[in-house]
Amino acid sequence: MNRAEALIDLSALEYNVKRLLKGTSAQGLAVVKADGYGHGLIPVTKRALAAGATWLGTALLEEALTLRDAGIEAPIIAWLTPVSDDFESALKKKVDLAIPSLDHLQALVDISNAIQIVPRVHLEVDTGMSRGGALREWKGLVEQAAELSKSGKLQIVGIWSHFARADEPNHSFNQEQLNNFRARVTEAKALGISPQLLHLSNSAASLSNSSAHFDLVRLGIAMYGLSPDLDNMGSSINLNLKPVMKLRARLHLVKEVPAGSQVGYGGSAITKSDTKLGVVTMGYADGVPRNANSSAGVLVANKKAPVIGRVSMDQFVVDLGNDSVACAGDWAYLIGSEGGDGYTADAWAKACATINYEIVTRIGPRVPRVFLD
C-alpha cells in the first residue's frame, strides 16, 4: 500500500487535448518534457496521441530517446540539446532537433555527414525572449541552412520561436514577437527555405491568440488541465480544462496538542488553541516546497487542514482542528479530492510564491503515479 501517490486521470488529459485542438485548425504538439510535467511520460504520451496530437515535444534528447525506446513512432522534436549531446542517436532514431545557432548546426552536420543520415531540424529564432534561438546570428544561420538544404544535406522541417508573455494576452509584446517571427520567416523563405511547419504558440497563445497558431500549436500546461496564468487567464474552470493530477498521502500520526505548542523545525508556528495535528507522509524530498505556508494544506476527513510549521524532508504537519475525526492511515489530499472542495495546484503555488507548473513537475520519483481511466 502506497504511503503517497499521484493519481493521473488519463481521460481528463484526453478531454483537454480534444478541447484545445477543437479551437484551432493547426496540428497539436503534446509537450511531454519533464516526465510529462510530472504526470508520467509514456502513459501521457500515448493518451495525448490517441486524443489527436500528432507531434511530441521534449526539452531533452534523452526524453525523446526514451519515447523511441518505448515504441513511440510519432514525430518528436527535442529543443534543449547542447552541442555535446548524442546527435548520432538522435539521427538514428529519427528525432528532430531544434537548431538555435551555427555551432549547433555545424556539430549536427559533422555527425550526419559521418553516418550518412540527413538530419531533420527546426530552426529556432529569438523573437524577443532572449533565451533560446538565434538573434544576431539568424541571417548567417538561415544562409548556411539554405545551402545545406539545397545540397540535400539538411531537411528543414520547421521554423519556430517561443512567446515570453503569452500568458498576458493583452500585452503589446506578444504582437511585437509575432511581427518579429513573421519577418524572420520571410527572410528564410527569401533564401529558398520552405519549412513544412511554423510554430510559435504555447498553451497560453493556443487559448488566446489564434493569429499565432500557424501550422502547429504546442500544448503544454493546459493539456494537463492547469491554467497558464491564474490572474490573467483565469482558472482551469474558467478555461474549461480538467486538472489531470490528484495528489494524496497517508496520515502517519494524529495527535492532540495544547495551545502554545511549537510546531516543526525552528518553532516557526505556535498553536493558538488546543487542537489536533496530523503528520502527512510527504516532504520536500517528494517535491512539497519547504516554504509552503498555511494557505496550502490537505483535505482529510472531508475538511481542509492547513499546513502548520515548516515542511520537512519526508513529512509535514497540518492543523486538523480540535473537532477533527481524521485518523492515522487516512488519505490526505494535497491536490484535488474524492469529491469535496480540496486544495489545487494553484493554491499550493500561491502558498509557495511560485507557479502551478513547478508544483506538479517537482513531484519526485518516490511518489508512484497511479493511472486512472
**Chain segment 194-210, per-residue pLDDT in tens:** 999 999 999 999 999 99
Is there a catalytic annotation at residue 265?
yes
pLDDT category, 94, cuts 50, 70, 90? very high
Q: Could you tell me if residue 1 is inside a domain? A: no
Say which of 33, 246, 276, 304 is annotated catalytic: 33
Percent of residues, the chain, with pLDDT higher than 90: 98
Q: Could you tell me if residue 332 is inside a domain? A: yes
Q: Could you tell me if residue 141 is inside a domain? A: yes
Q: Does one domain contain both 275 and 208? A: no
Q: Does one domain contain both 64 and 199? A: yes
Final residue of a structural domain among 162, 195, 225: 225
**Average pLDDT over every residue of 28-41:** 98
Q: Is 202 helix (H, G, I), strand (E, B) or coil?
A: coil
Say which of 153, 265, 333, 350 is annotated catalytic: 265
CA torsion sign, 353 to 284 to 312 to 304? positive
pLDDT at 155 over 80: yes
Is there a catalytic annotation at residue 246?
no
pLDDT category, 170, cuts 50, 70, 90? very high
Q: What pLDDT was estimated at residue 364?
A: 97
The boundaries of the domain holding residue 145 are 10-225
CATH value at residue 350: 2.40.37.10
Q: What is the pLDDT of residues 213-258, one digit of tens each?
A: 999 999 999 999 999 999 999 999 999 999 999 999 999 999 999 9
Q: Give the start-end residues of each E strand in 111-204.
A: 120-124, 155-160, 197-199
Q: What pLDDT was estimated at residue 52?
A: 98
Q: Could you tell me if residue 219 is inside a domain? A: yes
Interacting residues of 50 by C-beta distance below 8 A, sequence separation 6+: 14
Q: How far apart are CA 264 and CA 283, in angstroms?
A: 12
pLDDT at 73 over 80: yes
Q: What pLDDT was estimated at residue 338?
A: 85
Task: Give the chain's mean pLDDT.
Answer: 97
Q: Does one domain contain both 204 and 103? A: yes
Q: Could you tell me if residue 346 is inside a domain? A: yes
Q: Could you tell me if residue 338 is inside a domain? A: yes
Q: What pLDDT was estimated at residue 340?
A: 72
Q: Are 44 and 56 in contact (CB under 8 A)?
A: no
Q: Does one domain contain both 220 and 249? A: no
Whether this prediction's pTM lies above 0.85 is answered by yes
**Average pLDDT over every residue of 4-30:** 98
- The domain tally of the chain equals 2
Q: What pLDDT was estimated at residue 1?
A: 82
pLDDT at 191 over 90: yes
**Average pLDDT over every residue of 310-326:** 98
Q: Are 17 and 51 in contact (CB under 8 A)?
A: yes
For residue 34, the surrounding DSSP H or E stretch is helix 33-37
Q: Could you tell me if residue 323 is inside a domain? A: yes
Q: Does one domain contain both 250 and 216? A: no
Q: Does one domain contain both 208 and 344? A: no
pLDDT category, 328, cuts 50, 70, 90? very high
